[in-house]
């Protein structure tokens, strides 16, 4: 869409579903399941409802309508996206594509002689996305041992499900399954749950999202052998091996197993060799900061770009979109580099987790290496101090900001609590536009709103003597149209 707005003629080659993983097998349908299961959890929480004067009994749900809601949402958004592309004059070509030269591709559908062709273009952008990563020794049958692709269909609700991996995908599905009555066992290779999150945030999230629910866990182990079962008849058998000693330490039997061990780039079959390009050992296409593809010698391949999960820089849908916009800017001769450190991330559990920038551990490690270890500071606030959260009786949570007290630079912001995924953007946009603590701590937030959680963070930050920049006259703040990106 940004390419069309920039005056380029655009064609999209799609071998599966318009919208890719996010719309059809990821972000969109998973949020529908989380929305429905979250309502079930809320309605079954009699103690919480009674505290605000509501009494509900005999709360029931139907699995199929919940699954249908997710499927229909994905279908609707897919069609809306297709109509938007067609309305903009984008050509939609159906088939799997491969490079045949620096400015040409060939596309077709297996078994179809009536679909396909060859296309030439000045610029080519690879955006083939990713697929669920399945470790060796785990056979996927799609029924009792499955990936997120299968889980989103919600064909059945196991009484007991093991989830391999406690990252975004694993956490969100644990939220869905426990709300709908399943017991969950996490199998995590690292020595703690939620290893990718800030440690302090992860500890609090575990106290709220894991400990009170029907969830247990095994950490520091690998699922080295998984034997599929038969729903309602034969259990799934999972062999656990210690990560360090490589010895078998346990064997568990569950009704089902969700493999949530991340995603792998879908780059096979692109015929990258036609332009002298090789993927790395994990299958990612090498690119520079401008999203330009690099050949085997590390030199840019003219007019060839790669964005999203296929390049491995930041495997999130909105990061892919931002990379695509950046690539278009560079195609048009407007030099642009996306700062991935300012791209926010979120986990849509109940309550949510979100963050941008570095964790406290990463920030302190970097500071020590670069000689400003004593300049890193941290401020925190609790949702229990927020009037809106208290009114909702949803005050579990905290927010923290890591910053440099000598410069005011914001290094990272982490939030766990009600609507954390929506709140993070004030921080991420401040970082993206190079605003510092002293630039934003006097901003005004409506009361009572959850946004005051961030307001508290900004106002608590104590700086060494840093001169605030003089505010520019209103006229000077206006940018000419041609300078806006």
- Say whether the peptide bond before residue 373 is cis (omega within 30 degrees of 0): no
Q: Using CA atoms, how far apart are residues 104 and 98, in angstroms rounded to an integer? A: 9
Of 16, 268, 340, 447, the catalytic one is 447
Per-residue CA distances from 465 to 86, 98, 471 (Å): 55, 57, 18
Q: Using CA atoms, how far apart are residues 468 and 483, in angstroms rounded to an integer? A: 26
Q: Using CA atoms, how far apart are residues 20 and 171, in angstroms rounded to an integer? A: 22
Per-residue CA distances from 172 to 10, 19, 27, 360 (Å): 36, 21, 11, 24
Cβ–Cβ under 8 Å, residues 18 and 78: yes
Per-residue CA distances from 57 to 45, 52, 180, 182 (Å): 10, 15, 16, 20
- The answer to whether residue 447 is catalytic is yes
Task: Give catalytic residues, as residue numbers.
Answer: 447
């Amino acid at each position: 869409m940004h390419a069309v707005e920039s005056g380029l003629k655009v064609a999209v080659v799609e071998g599966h579903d318009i919208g890719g993983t996010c719309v059809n097998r990821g972000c969109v349908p998973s949020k529908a399941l989380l929305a429905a299961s979250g309502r079930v959890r809320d309605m079954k929480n009699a103690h919480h409802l009674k505290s605000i004067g509501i009494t509900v009994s005999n709360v029931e749900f139907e699995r199929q309508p919940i699954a249908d809601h997710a499927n229909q949402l994905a279908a609707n958004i897919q069609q809306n996206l297709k109509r938007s592309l067609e309305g903009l004059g984008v050509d939609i070509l159906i088939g799997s594509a491969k490079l045949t030269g620096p400015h040409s591709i060939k596309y077709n559908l297996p078994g179809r002689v009536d679909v396909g062709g060859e296309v030439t273009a000045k610029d080519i952008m690879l955006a083939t996305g990713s697929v669920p990563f399945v470790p060796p020794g785990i056979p996927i049958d799609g029924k009792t041992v499955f990936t997120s692709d299968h889980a989103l269909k919600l064909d059945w609700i196991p009484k007991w499900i093991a989830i391999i991996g406690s990252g975004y995908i694993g956490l969100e599905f644990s939220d869905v399954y426990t709300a709908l009555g399943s017991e969950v066992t996490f199998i995590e290779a690292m020595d703690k749950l939620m290893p990718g999150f800030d440690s302090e945030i992860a500890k609090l999230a575990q106290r709220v999202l894991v400990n009170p629910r029907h969830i247990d866990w095994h950490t520091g182990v690998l699922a080295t052998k998984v034997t599929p079962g038969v729903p309602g008849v034969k259990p799934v058998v999972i062999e656990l091996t210690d990560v360090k000693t490589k010895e078998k330490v346990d064997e568990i039997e569950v009704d089902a197993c969700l493999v949530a061990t991340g995603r792998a780039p879908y780059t096979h079959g692109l015929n990258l060799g036609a332009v002298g390009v090789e993927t790395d050992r994990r299958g990612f296409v090498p690119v520079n900061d401008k999203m330009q593809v690099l050949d085997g010698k590390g030199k840019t391949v003219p007019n060839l770009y790669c964005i999203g999960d296929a390049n491995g820089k930041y495997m999130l849908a909105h990061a892919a979109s931002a990379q695509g916009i950046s690539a278009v800017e560079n195609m048009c001769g407007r030099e642009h580099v996306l700062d991935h450190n300012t791209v926010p991330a979120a986990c849509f559990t109940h309550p949510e987790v979100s963050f941008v920038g570095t964790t406290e551990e990463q920030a302190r490690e970097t500071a020590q290496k670069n000689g400003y270890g004593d300049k890193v500071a941290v401020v925190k606030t609790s949702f229990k101090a927020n009037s809106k959260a208290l009114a909702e009786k949803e005050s579990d949570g905290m927010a923290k900001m890591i910053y440099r007290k000598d410069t005011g630079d914001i290094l990272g912001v982490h939030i766990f609590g009600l609507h954390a995924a929506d709140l993070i953007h004030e921080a991420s946009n401040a970082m993206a536009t190079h605003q510092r603590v002293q630039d934003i701590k006097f901003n005004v937030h409506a009361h009572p709103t959850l946004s005051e959680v961030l307001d508290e963070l900004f106002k608590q930050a104590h700086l060494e003597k840093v001169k605030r920049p003089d505010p520019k006259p209103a006229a000077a703040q206006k940018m000419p149209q041609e300078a806006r990106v």
